[in-house]
Amino acid sequence: MNRDAMDKSAVDLSVRIPSPKGILELAHPVLPASGTFGYGEEFEPFLPPGTFSAIVPKSISVEQRPGNPPPRAIETPSGLLNSIGLQNPGLDLFISDYLPRLQRYGVPILVNVVGKTIEDYCQVVEALEGRELVLGYELNVSCPNVKEGLRFGLDPEATAALISAVRERTGGVLMAKLTPNVTDIAEHAVAAQEAGADAVSLINTIRAMAVDWRSGKSRIGTDTGGLSGPAIRPVALRMAWEAAEAVEIPVCAIGGISNAEDILEFVSVGASMVQVGTHLYREPTCLIEILQQLRELLAQEGYGSLEELRGSFGRSSDRLPESSRPVR
């Protein structure tokens, strides 16, 4: 699109997420991906963690979890293979030691919640309801490195049952984190929406392997792990498009994002916001430049807001034929 360029300072990057308690407005679309951000302390030497529009901390379960055996991560071509196993301090220690630090950053907190049962998820949410700046939850139903993640994430009915149960316990933003390890991501997004989710985030890592053929062993401490990074971005882009086409709730895109161009690609296929993960290990200060580039690129093309661009893919006269779009 060729439009008259405008002042980049006038570009509106804000994102609005409706929920039963009202609309959560974020200053811009970039959040940290859970698991890559820790609980904020790790990023303090690089940039104020509150520079993100909201924080999605590392997963929290009722019980403390030691995680999977090491080695837990290895680089692959254009990606990172990890098998952390949802290591976390548990709910009680999170509330007493980690949450106060997160609250000091002054931005909304969307707590990533994981559990072995529906009751586990509900217990975490009930314990965090009403606490300062805890304005929502990202329900992790998609971790490929623990059995319960696969159980919930691969069955849309199980996903819906979980979301429905948690919905009864909170009016805050409820975002379901979906797995790419399914045949039809749209089916799972629709199930999440119908069960009461306010947004969906996708994709979690792709189940993958790295082996040492000489020793006949895995290069990480488990047989398989989760692949992230630029290698999965085209897959994530396709799935974000399919999900955005299928639901009316906001889509939070995840997968190999490393610059503003990547973000605008996801927005053009319908995503409202994004999470940056693996790239934070390479460039922990990247957010400042990304936000500047977002405004510059949108202004150059004459867009006054991010929302104007959202879903623009396929609007032009040279769009692909309807037969190329996902079939339901």
User: Which mean pLDDT values do the consecutive 10-residue runs of the chain (328 residues) have?
Assistant: 70 97 97 94 93 97 96 96 95 98 97 95 98 98 59 85 97 96 95 98 96 97 96 98 98 98 98 97 96 97 97 69 45
CB 78 within 8 A of CB 134: no
Position 9 scores a pLDDT of 83
The residue from 122, 143, 252, 286 that is catalytic is 143
Q: Which residues on neighbouring strands pair with residue 199, listed in sequence order? A: 175
3-state helix, strand, coil in the chain (%, to 5): 35, 20, 45
Position 300 scores a pLDDT of 96
Q: Which CATH number fits domain 8-70+86-207+228-314: 3.20.20.70, 3.20.20.140, 3.40.50.150, 3.40.50.620?
A: 3.20.20.70
- The pairing of strands 273-276 and 30-32 is parallel
Helix (H) or strand (E) holding 17: strand 15-19
Question: 122 catalytic, yes or no?
Answer: no
Nearest to 177 by CA among 238, 232, 254: 254
Model confidence, pTM: 0.92
Rounded to whole angstroms, what are the CA distances from 128 to 188, 245, 311? 26, 33, 34
